[in-house]
Structure 1
């Protein structure tokens, strides 16, 4: 008998086929059960190896033994002599039945595998990549789903933490945020900002609700299970309109390969949505040290809420990450951003915070010239520390070229555009921030703030009411209610709102300084000094405390104190304050030197024209040069007049740059020119809107000529009368720190 015939007689083929069918079914069941019970990946792999090793054993057993009605017996070495002898009928029937079951099972396997291959093409290939792969292996483009009209927007939801201890939330969110930031670099593709997309964490909202709330066409969701050095990531891309899965996959890797997984997921999405994005190029500056990356994610989580303690801890995490990878550009960018916010929210003086921010930002740019975060940090430094709004705007434009969806940049860029005097673009930029981050309370209130600057009070109030209807005690909305009340002359209401914010933000000196400045306007020195001290307790010589101190010095005509404050502030603002103090003391040449220094430090260019940040120095310089009999004063005044006209054409009225207003500045220009009637008219506009400071006639030297003029005196009386009525409204209220 031939070998084939002998294998058939001993039923080896039948046993092998049956074993294959049963093993395949067992593996499918095991994959589902083990995954649901959270078993480590090695359990399934070990089970598979055992089944594979059992196959040759089953074949050997089939050769040696045979299953008969009498039980398991050794198969005879020789076939029956009479090949035509009738076999046992029951055995024959059972054999045919077994053959049919095996055949049906084999056909079932073929059908399932074919369906998976055709219907779910391209969805499983990355999971089969070697666990030790150093980088993502591109899937076959032919296996990627095609879309006739590619989606142009996406929301990346916070990945769910499925880790055994439930303590990897920061890691799961970090993975999803990295994917969000990477996809955001695709030009022409809108990515909902983190704040809005992560609001759905833990909610039961369906994909349709999420898509409608964020105005996106696709949603990426997933989960992370981290145990030891093993990580399992699942991700699925869903079309909002139909609810269908465009793509999905599961990745089981060692933690050391986490970056490859991120790239695989991003590459799959890029292909599925037909985006123009080179993942390899965009991730070139990323660290490959897993421990450094973990520390970076922890730092970023701490820096999320801008508190002094959280930001300082974040810097510690970033610095620890740099000890593991000194070339980690992202950690340097994080340090730079943290220091800028520490100056704003943490009460740290500019002279301490900004040099550290600049050093870290420059190091980040040297390591990764394509870092949008580092460019944004440099822009913040140029604007806030050097008062170089023009230079800052260039950094911001480059930031948005690198990452058009970087919502944080839009927010800070709006401030720079205000400093430049481009109010229309300022509003446009803040509307874009809200479009990208529609559920962010902070972005909506920031837009409300800028609407105040251009006199759109009704729209601003409607936006704040919308926020407060959702979050009645939101401190950002309350802060803008305080700004709105101050601009409308409701000073008692402003103090009430700012006081609420002060206690809602334990480390932030901003609100204390605002109350102090309102108290100065109310001619209440005791209240002003109390709140200046409250601001100082949150960081001596912080920017907001110094703002309030120089306001009080001007209101009282204390020019020595103003010069002292200017020396502490330094930079262009400090030179300006010292110049004003010198001018009031009659030291005209010293005043001119300091005012020119202020303009130089703030990058003033006479050819390009004046910006809002130059207005104060130019006005004072025009006054000083006229006192000195220098011909250039008229050109200084003309440049300010031109700027005021441009700002008014854009709707500007109350610009909170040193709490000045365009009407008051226009009155000062007219006074420098000796034009009494125009100066009076502009002052009347300022008084009607409750913007006129009560000390203007006594301490602003440009109006000295009209200190005995009854109409000017009447304006002062009107201001003081309103201040008295607002002080009366404060009676009985708790207004002290």
Structure 2
């Protein structure tokens, strides 16, 4: 054995191996730095390390079998031992090894100092003196809270792939239990589940979710037997703080959830235990399994998935009529299947049936949080129901603060009530917790756009687009950003793709048709059968009577009447508009209560009402309508809104109030923000007709028309003439 060792030393095999190892390490460090810089996928580094490891035996064999001589590389057996220079080669290898080790030492020193500076940097960062005190800090969530955790979707290890919903449901229930603990930050369900099925590095996942701990595990279900394995991991070093396996019968699934949740809490520091996991409500195991599967489908927010969820929930209730949570989710699903949401049920029928199911859930359990949230969703769609909706939603979140839907619906109701800043606080809080939850992300971007903060809106969009690039809701959100920023051709492309993916999506049709109106594509809008926009689209196509009939039908369904009223005004049907207002509502306060325009886009509809009263010589009613429109617009400005739609509404009020100079300034601002108006149409926007000939207005109108035609050309349309 000693002879073999001496021969290995003489042939420099050991030194070649050492040199190869240290050089491979240096190459891996350089490659790792390059991979981070250029965003290379994880497999690149794994492949490099694998190749380097596989080459080591070949290098050692080569060092044993061959020798470097002054004449070149020769087989060792062909070299005269008296002329061998292996000792010289060994010295050179020593220098190589020492040199690489010195480089490694320098790297370690540099890395430790660099990391120290990075650790100290946040403490040295101060807020800019120009940053508004009303705006939430942009760096508030950049540091990882040590009291934070994300629950990754448990892996389905069952033979039946259809059981995957069950492993997802277990993960979600554990997440919800942890989220009820005071002072513990838990990443939202949508963001955690975005990494499902991916083999990404846990440290990268922790960084993306901004959490210090990860919980992962697996579920194996065979017959009535469950085996659930869970492990708690510290993100920064990958250390496993705790792991355990739970073998239980299916009848104990609720106890297992609570047991796992509490076991995790015990493993975290005692100061995190501000509360205890809330025990699950007992239900029939099969009914509970169907409930879990239904919830997974509801998250998808498509007509097909919601129809499937409704069927599963009905089956669950047949098995367990006392299952309150199933009744609650069936109520919510029925509301979402309205023809004005994601389905085809007549709106009135969907809401009446949905309320019945929610009422049954509350009869079974008056504190059932999902049912309370569903009642908030229901009342938020009822005329004058916003205050009631806010009350229900606040009660729901007091019962269970973890509900993403309830928080989203509360922010919606607050914004519709004109409480835009409060809605923004909720949106940013929910976005920090669950950035990939589409309703929160989409509505947050809308709020930024309404406030004219396009840079923040664009940054949010760019950060999350890689995760959801081909999702219909992401396309809708992208189109919204482009439209509000005046990029109508790009908005058209995004909305059209979203509509092709989900042609029955009512909200998408609204945004798409609005974009078509803004770019003069009236026939395309009419062909979409969008009843809300039909009146104006058909009017601009000189199919006035057909359009006004469509507007009447839209109003009878309780839909937003703005474009219908605009069509009436543009065709001089002022008495008809006044008759509609006075026959349907007791007064203007009642009308405004049913159709509040306080979300940040301006009160154009009340402006059309004021215009109708002005043209029918009703001075008292005109003054009241004008003042309501003005007050609403200025309240939205005070809440931080600043966009072309709001400034168009303010210009409308200025013209009706006899201040054309202010109207011109506001139109100039609106045009600069991206507004386009088809002012070439003979009857369009009669309120601005007196400005014709004003040099300032004509100059602004010229710039606007140039912008409009540039967007039309990009869409392959003929430009409009002046």
TM-score with structure 2 length normalisation?
0.68
Structure with higher Rg: it is 1
SS in structure 1 opposite 2:300?
Answer: coil
SS in structure 1 opposite 2:149?
Answer: strand
SS in structure 2 opposite 1:164?
Answer: coil
Q: Does residue 1:303 correspond to 2:298, yes or no?
A: yes
Match for residue 547 of structure 1? 532
In structure 2, what is the Cα distance between the partners aligned to 1:307 and 1:610? Answer: 29
Distance 1:167 1:721, change over 3 A: closer
Match for residue 653 of structure 1? 642
Match for residue 615 of structure 1? 603
Match for residue 17 of structure 1? none
Aligned residues: 562
Match for residue 454 of structure 1? 451
In structure 1, what is the Cα distance between the partners aligned to 2:327 and 2:369? Answer: 12
Distance 1:511 1:580, change over 3 A: closer
Q: Does residue 1:591 correspond to 2:615, yes or no?
A: no
Q: Does residue 1:673 correspond to 2:657, yes or no?
A: yes
Distance 1:291 1:700, change over 3 A: same
Distance 1:709 1:433, change over 3 A: same
Selected match of 1:392 from 389, 393, 417: 389
Match for residue 156 of structure 2? 161
Shift in Å, 1:370: 2.7
SS in structure 2 opposite 1:152?
Answer: strand
In structure 1, what is the Cα distance between the partners aligned to 2:365 and 2:617? Answer: 51
In structure 1, what is the Cα distance between the partners aligned to 2:350 and 2:508? Answer: 20
- CA contact under 8 A between 2:499 and 2:505: conserved in structure 1? yes
- CA contact under 8 A between 1:388 and 1:602: conserved in structure 2? no
SS in structure 2 opposite 1:252?
Answer: strand
Match for residue 626 of structure 2? 637
In structure 1, what is the Cα distance between the partners aligned to 2:200 and 2:238? Answer: 13
> Structure 1: which 5+ residue stretches go unaligned?
1-149, 534-544, 655-659
Match for residue 428 of structure 2? 431
In structure 2, what is the Cα distance between the partners aligned to 1:502 and 1:176? Answer: 33
Shift in Å, 1:177: 0.8
In structure 1, what is the Cα distance between the partners aligned to 2:504 and 2:631? Answer: 41
Q: Does residue 1:525 correspond to 2:525, yes or no?
A: no
- CA contact under 8 A between 2:175 and 2:186: conserved in structure 1? yes
Q: Does residue 1:567 correspond to 2:556, yes or no?
A: no
In structure 2, what is the Cα distance between the partners aligned to 1:183 and 1:471? Answer: 27
In the TM superposition, what whole-angstrom CA distance separates every residue of 1:36-56 from its partner, at most 9, and x where no partner exists? Answer: xxxxxxxxxxxxxxxxxxxxx
Match for residue 711 of structure 2? 726
Shift in Å, 1:212: 2.8
Shift in Å, 1:258: 1.5
In structure 2, what is the Cα distance between the partners aligned to 1:291 and 1:631? Answer: 65
Distance 1:577 1:357, change over 3 A: farther
In the TM superposition, what whole-angstrom CA distance separates every residue of 1:24-45 from its partner, at most 9, and x where no partner exists? Answer: xxxxxxxxxxxxxxxxxxxxxx
1:211-610 counterparts in 2 under 5 A? 211-240=206-235, 243=238, 245-273=240-268, 274=270, 275-277=273-275, 279=277, 283=280, 286-343=281-338, 344-346=341-343, 348-386=345-383, 388-440=385-437, 443-469=440-466, 472-505=469-502, 507-530=504-527, 532-533=528-529, 545-553=530-538, 555=540, 558=544, 561-562=547-548, 564-570=550-556, 573=559, 584-587=573-576, 588-594=578-584, 596=586, 599-600=589-590, 603=593
Q: Does residue 1:687 correspond to 2:671, yes or no?
A: yes
Distance 1:161 1:563, change over 3 A: same
In structure 2, what is the Cα distance between the partners aligned to 1:574 and 1:475? Answer: 24
SS in structure 2 opposite 1:363?
Answer: helix
In structure 2, what is the Cα distance between the partners aligned to 1:155 and 1:211? Answer: 8
1:10-49 counterparts in 2 under 5 A? none
- CA contact under 8 A between 1:604 and 1:610: conserved in structure 2? no
Shift in Å, 1:165: 3.5
- CA contact under 8 A between 2:180 and 2:276: conserved in structure 1? no
- CA contact under 8 A between 1:563 and 1:581: conserved in structure 2? no
In structure 2, what is the Cα distance between the partners aligned to 1:155 and 1:434? Answer: 15
In structure 2, what is the Cα distance between the partners aligned to 1:229 and 1:408? Answer: 32
Shift in Å, 1:457: 1.2
Shift in Å, 1:293: 0.7
1:113-192 counterparts in 2 under 5 A? 152-192=147-187
- CA contact under 8 A between 2:676 and 2:705: conserved in structure 1? no
Shift in Å, 1:230: 1.6
SS in structure 2 opposite 1:338?
Answer: helix
SS in structure 1 opposite 2:299?
Answer: coil
Name whichever of 667-676 and 614-623 sits farther off: 614-623
> Structure 2: which 5+ residue stretches go unaligned?
1-144
In structure 2, what is the Cα distance between the partners aligned to 1:461 and 1:611? Answer: 20
SS in structure 2 opposite 1:222?
Answer: strand
- CA contact under 8 A between 1:572 and 1:599: conserved in structure 2? no
- Aligned CA RMSD, in angstroms, stands at 3.7
Shift in Å, 1:218: 3.1
In structure 2, what is the Cα distance between the partners aligned to 1:174 and 1:570? Answer: 41
